[in-house]
A = this chain, B = another copy of it.
Amino acid sequence: MLKETKKHLPKATAKRLPVYLRYLKMLQDSNVLRIKSKDFAQITQIPSATIRRDFSYLGELGRSGYGYDVPYLIEVFSNLLDTEEEKRIALIGFGNLGKALANNNFRRNANLNIVSVFDNNPAMINQEIDGFIVHDLAEFKQIVANEGISVAISTVPSKYSQEVVDIIVEAGITAILSFAPDRVKVPKGVTVQYIDLTTELQTLIYFDQEYKKVL
């Protein structure tokens, strides 16, 4: 039944799943094994109505007045997000942002691992920097195959974005995280997630100003 409902999960709900999962694990670490949506709303700062609606897409996860079973939710959400399996990641662009990502290396999730880094700067290629050998993009396809890489992160500037995404797609990768906000063209079956820091900041400023108007 879960499998059936998964297909219809709204994108906004899916985006909240990793957030829910993190807080549920924190609760479990503190030996909280049952939680009401109202209390979970307090912790996550997501409205309880949103939480109940999100959870309802996933089937019978809790009962009114009783709350949700924390270990069970963790099991369901972990399964949905498939964090059980290691994901080997290629990082393209080893400037400050690339280094920040590589050094952090998603340490909150042991299964997300940046295993190879690439740059087009000749001064960097084949050098060991911050513990990573920087590879030439010309080697991308070969290294992806050898290393069993299935995810790519691009931190290259917008003007190189399409070119780099083409190389990523050519290597058979279907999951791409891009820090260049310009939309790139990819074939069907390839998912690109964009992170646009300017947009995030503009949105923040917008909400801040809206808030001041209603005060």
Contacts and interface: CB of A to CB of B under 8 A. Distances in A.
B151 A201 contact: yes
Interface in A142-200: 151, 153, 174-177, 181, 183, 189, 191, 193, 195-200
B18 A198 contact: yes
Given A100-B95, A174-B211, A210-B6, A112 B191 contact: no
B183 A204 contact: no
Q: How many copies does the complex hold?
A: 2
A108 B18 contact: no
Interface residues of A, number: 64
Contacts of A202: 17-18, 81, 83, 109, 112
A208 interface: yes
A8 to B, nearest CB: 10
A201 B97 CA distance: 15
A87 interface: yes
17 contacts: A12-B12, A14-B206, A15-B203, A17-B203, A18-B198, A19-B199, A22-B181, A81-B202, A81-B206, A96-B100, A109-B202, A151-B208, A175-B204, A175-B207, A177-B200, A193-B201, A193-B207
